[in-house]
């Protein structure tokens, strides 16, 4: 499959790893929009939050459970924001489910 994030998981495209286990991979965004900008992805390809089902929710739940650990290790003690763009209206550019973790400064009150 021609998927950028599947290639990152396979190590075919380099990335700066933050966290990894059997089910998920976290790495720094190449074009950071905050002082700390991490992407967390399931290793199994899911196109977006619009494609989450009873069958694949396990990996998504596991990912969610690990976000506090990833945020703590990234020293985001002041707080952080989680964003997941799904589909064209949200300007999703990579069609492999990912959660942006943004922090390291006081973020904008504006979300859209
Ligand atoms: P989205 O627009 O929500 O689909 O987010 C895709 C994100 O992937 C953007 O923030 C990009 O900067 C990021 N991105 C694209 N290519 C890479 C890459 N090779 N390594 C790390 N992050 C990437
Ligand atoms: Zn993929």
pLDDT of residue 1: 76
pLDDT of residue 31: 98
For the chain, the domain total comes to 1
Residue 109 domain flag: no
Does residue 92's CB lie within 6 angstroms of at least one atom of ligand 1? yes
Closest ligand 1 atom number to CA of residue 93: 4
Does residue 12's CB lie within 6 angstroms of at least one atom of ligand 1? no
Residue 108 domain flag: no
Q: What are phi and psi of 91, to 5 degrees?
A: 60, 40
Nearest to 42 by CA among 33, 53, 30: 53
Q: Say what the pTM is.
A: 0.98
Residue 110 domain flag: no
Residue 111 domain flag: no
The Cα-based distances of 101 to 1, 2, 54, 86 in angstroms read: 26, 25, 24, 15
Angle CA 25–18–3, to nearest 5 = 35
Reading the chain (112 residues) residue by residue, the pLDDT tens digits are 799 999 999 999 999 999 999 999 999 999 999 999 999 999 999 999 999 999 999 999 999 999 999 999 999 999 999 999 999 999 999 999 999 999 999 999 999 9
**Whose C-alpha lies nearest to ligand 1, atom 20?**
30
Query: Do the Cβ atoms of 69 and 94 come closer than 8 Å?
Result: no
| Residue 18 belongs to domain with CATH number | 3.30.428.10
Is 98 known to be catalytic? yes
């Amino acid at each position: 499959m021609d998927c950028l994030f599947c290639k990152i998981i396979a190590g075919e495209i380099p990335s700066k790893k933050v966290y990894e286990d059997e089910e998920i991979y976290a790495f720094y965004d190449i074009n950071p929009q905050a002082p700390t900008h991490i992407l967390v992805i399931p290793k199994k390809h899911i196109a977006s939050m619009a494609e989450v089902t009873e069958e694949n929710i396990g990996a998504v739940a596991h990912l969610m459970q690990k976000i506090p650990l990833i945020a703590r290790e990234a020293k985001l003690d002041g707080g952080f924001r989680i964003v997941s763009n799904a589909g064209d209206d949200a300007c999703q550019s990579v069609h492999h489910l990912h959660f942006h973790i943004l922090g390291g400064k006081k973020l904008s009150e504006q979300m859209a």
